[in-house]
Structure 1
Amino acid sequence: MLTILKRSRANGSAAYRAVVRVKRKGKIVYSESRTFDCEKLAKLWGRKRELELQTPEGIQKLKVAKVTIEQLIDRYIKEVEPITASAIDAARAVLNQLGLIGKSSRRD
């Protein structure tokens, strides 16, 4: 289902947000949005995404590509930002309190 929302930016110009949602058995199983300067572009993008997601493999591709927050943080720590062990432990403690990672998660 495509919804176009018009909103005002801080500078007063208009922006159009295209929101595409896929429902299965009355529940939203996928939602995606993108903002455009022109309403016509928002509609075109939304219609295209709807068609892509209607294919049998459309949503399956997205489900396979899901990555957890824990995996993203681990990758960031290893590849981008060399930080101290105490900072890593502190970040993991916060994520654990939020329930985003399990207690057994340890750094490599």
Structure 2
Amino acid sequence: MAQIVERKRKSGSTAYVAQINIRRNGKWAHRESRTFDKHSSAAAWYEKRMKEIKAAGDDLSAIKSKDRTLAAAIDRYTTESSKKIGKTKAQVLRSIREYDIASMP
């Protein structure tokens, strides 16, 4: 089951939350959601994720993130961020990636 829900932010702007909820044998097998500024972006993400989930078939563990380290999260943030990252923030993120804690699962 999936849906795109419109909601108001604190600032008064509209956000669109794409939610994917999958039940298997009466239990939640997979749940995820993401928030977008545009309905079209939410719909595109939803379509992409549903294709990935259908390709995985019954093995839903294959679609869950395997690389859950702080360094991976920083890399993903810097590559997928829709907003421009300033020089100072970029340097701080690079510095954090070099600490030992960044490579821990």
Structure 1-normalised TM-score? 0.54
1:63 deviates by 5.6
Percent identity, aligned pairs only? Answer: 34
Where do 5+ consecutive residues of structure 2 fail to align? Answer: 69-98
Alignment TM-score, normalising by the size of structure 2: 0.55
SS of aligned partner of 1:53: helix
CA contact (8 A) 2:17 2:35 kept: yes
Of structures 1 and 2, the larger Rg is shown by: 1
Offset of 1:30 from its aligned partner?
A: 0.4
Q: What are the residue-to-residue correspondences of 1:6-45 with 2, within 5 Å?
A: 6-45=6-45
How far apart are residue 57 of structure 1 and its match?
6.8
Instruction: Please give the secondary structure, in 1, of the residue aligned with 2:12.
Output: coil
Q: Is residue 5–residue 17 contact of structure 1 (8 Å, CA) maintained in 2?
A: yes
- How far has the Cα of 1:18 moved from its partner? 0.3
CA apart distance, 1:23: 1.7
Q: Match of 1:60, as an amino acid?
A: S
1:31 CA displacement: 0.5
Structure 1's unaligned 5+ residue stretches are: 68-77, 82-108
Shift of 1:2: 1.3
Q: Cα distance 1:23–1:34, how it changes in 2: closer, same or farther (>3 A)? A: same
Aligned residues: 71
